[in-house]
Chain A
Amino acid sequence: MTPPRSLVSILTWRLIWVALGVVLVETILVIHEYGVSLDPHNWHELGSEFVEHVLVGALPLFAVTAIASIMAVRSGLRGLRRAASEVAALNLDRPGSRIATEGLPAEAATLVNAINGALDRVEWAFADQRAFTGEVAHDLRTPMAVLRLAIDDLPAHLQPRFSQQVDAMARRVGQLVTLAQIEARPGSVGEAVDLAALAADLTARMAPLALDRGLNIAFDRQDEPVVWVQRDAIDSALQNLVENAIKHAPEGSEVTVRVGPDAVVVVDDQGPGIPSALRQRLFGRFERGQAQADGGVGLGLAIARRALEASGGHVEITDAPGGGARVILRFPKHIPVTP
């Protein structure tokens, strides 16, 4: 495929050719009209007629028109350049991002509207797929429940191996359902949530699991921020982070959930920590190679990230003091409207 040529350069060359053509035609007309013969003695006369009719007459007019055309095309193209950079910067994870048609010539606007339409279809396809995944995952829970109870009837020495597998499957299925639920409601109206109360309840619910693994779990209430979020999504996000921490913390160590200062929730563990190289990778939805052996950690972080983005916040991964992983949920602070 030949590389595309600049419209401005095509236009400019066309105009130059047209200008030359105009000069040629005008010259022929001048010769014809004034009956000036072509022999060298008349070239002086030919020359002055030429200057009078072509250079002073037609050409300046043509030049002004040509310059006006080139400027119009260039300004139209500037709008296209802006649109192109918007497309390049599109974040498909933020549903609803579209390209603006302001400042574009109508012909380019047609193309941009077609692109926006394609983006709509892509989003609907994603949403359908997410909903489908969520439904399938949800449906898996009943057969898994049957399986889990049937395992309880196995001889005791066989149970742990099977129950661990089912529990691991159950965690993944639960995460798929959660992710589908969060992504199915990207623009949902949130509600005012007492973050410290939510985090305290969640931590208390997770306490038995922590104790089962021989860990301590503690809650540190340093603030009482109110945030505007989807409660379900944040609860699921925090639950996944605490589950991750519990999975990685060594026996006898402590997992801490802290709220504040300001609108943050911080989950610390004393495990091996998350190496920097992996931190950005872990924010993809399902990193290949990572998904296999991480026991749902990657998916848990993806859930946290989507839940926070839906609420206008973000997630940071860093190191807990003394080693271990620290995951920070940062929320935009909600300013309650006083009546």
Chain B
Amino acid sequence: MRVLLIEDNRDLTGLIRDGLSRHGFAVDCAASAAAAQDAVAAADFDLVILDLGLPDGDGRDLLRDLRRAGRHQPVLIVTARSALGDRVAGLDAGADDYLIKPFAMDELLARVRALLRRPGVGLDVALFCGNLRLDSANRTVTVSGQPLDLGKREIELLTLLLRRQGKVVAKEAIESALYTFDEPVTPNAVEALISRVRRRLADAHADVGIHTLRGLGYLLRGDAQ
């Protein structure tokens, strides 16, 4: 996986590059908007990490230029600007995620992996968390390598939750993803489905948990976290 890191602080650049390389990413660095434009023109990147405070311009303008030029790889903004308005503006400019400094390397890695997990991007085929692994191409699920027999809808649910692992998936989002117009969704349908999947995962000794956030939705994460 090739990552372009656009960051002007040398210490930060070095630490991020080292951390990502250690986890198997090939990282190129650009310390200005101009250098970034050159890099993007010269090579194909799977993901871009962009600091907004660049010496020769605002990162958001660079981002808009990239999107307009037809570059659609996922972009993770890394910045010190923390207000909600800044986050929204960043996402509107074309970013896919927004990380506020300071952050731990684990957090950066989790965000990078999440962005690469999106359908049609990079690591889409295999979704995993803990000892649970889902192959979304041929719809098989394994726990510690042992196959787990799940129904179609259960696999769809797990796919949804695994893609957004560590984040809340709204109940409404699950309903609209799993049930079509002509299937009446009873109020407890999703809860019942979740219970079933929980039981199957527990029986198979999966080290992931599906948490219910009352009034919001559900969240899947590894038990080790």
Contact = CB atoms under 8 A, between A and B. Distances in A.
Contacts of B211: 207, 211
Determine the interface band of chain A, counting residues with CB < 8 A from chain B: 35 or more
Nearest to A211: B211
A236 B84 contact: yes
A212 B105 contact: no
B84 A232 contact: yes
Interface in B102-148: 102-106
A141 B80 contact: yes
A174 B214 CA distance: 28
Contact of A218 (B104, B167, B215): B215
B196 to A, nearest CB: 22
Contacts of A177: 82
A208 B105 contact: no
B101 A145 contact: yes
Nearest to B166: A208
Nearest to A170: B102
Given A217-B213, A236-B84, A163 B104 contact: yes
Contacts of A166: 102
A204 B213 contact: yes
B9 A142 contact: yes
A138 interface: yes
Given A148-B103, A150-B15, A236 B83 contact: yes
Contacts, number: 97
Contact of A231 (B85, B103, B213): B85
The majority secondary structure among interface residues of chain A is helix
Given A208-B219, A231-B85, A232-B85, A144 B102 contact: yes
Contacts of B188: none
A208 B218 CA distance: 11
A150 B105 CA distance: 9
Interface string A137-149: 0110110111111
Contacts of B80: 138-139, 141-142, 145
A219 B217 CA distance: 10
A146 B213 contact: no
Interface in B172-212: 211
A150 to B, nearest CB: 6
A208 B102 contact: no
B64 interface: no
A224 B83 CA distance: 24
Of A147, A166, A208, A212, the most chain B CB neighbours within 10 A belong to A208
A220 interface: yes
Nearest to B16: A149
Nearest to A254: B214
Contacts of A216: 213-214
Contacts of B66: none
Nearest to B215: A219
A180 to B, nearest CB: 11
B93 to A, nearest CB: 17
B101 A219 contact: no
A294 interface: no
Contact of A203 (B100, B106, B216): B216
A219 B213 contact: yes
Contact of B216 (A147, A148, A219, A236): A219
Given A152-B105, A218-B214, 4 more contacts: A141-B80, A146-B9, A148-B104, A163-B104
18 contacts: A138-B81, A139-B80, A141-B80, A141-B101, A142-B9, A142-B12, A142-B80, A146-B9, A147-B102, A148-B102, A174-B100, A204-B216, A208-B166, A211-B225, A217-B213, A218-B216, A219-B213, A219-B216
Q: Which 10 A-B pairs have the closest CB atoms?
A: A219-B215, A141-B80, A218-B214, A145-B101, A148-B102, A149-B15, A145-B102, A204-B168, A235-B84, A144-B102
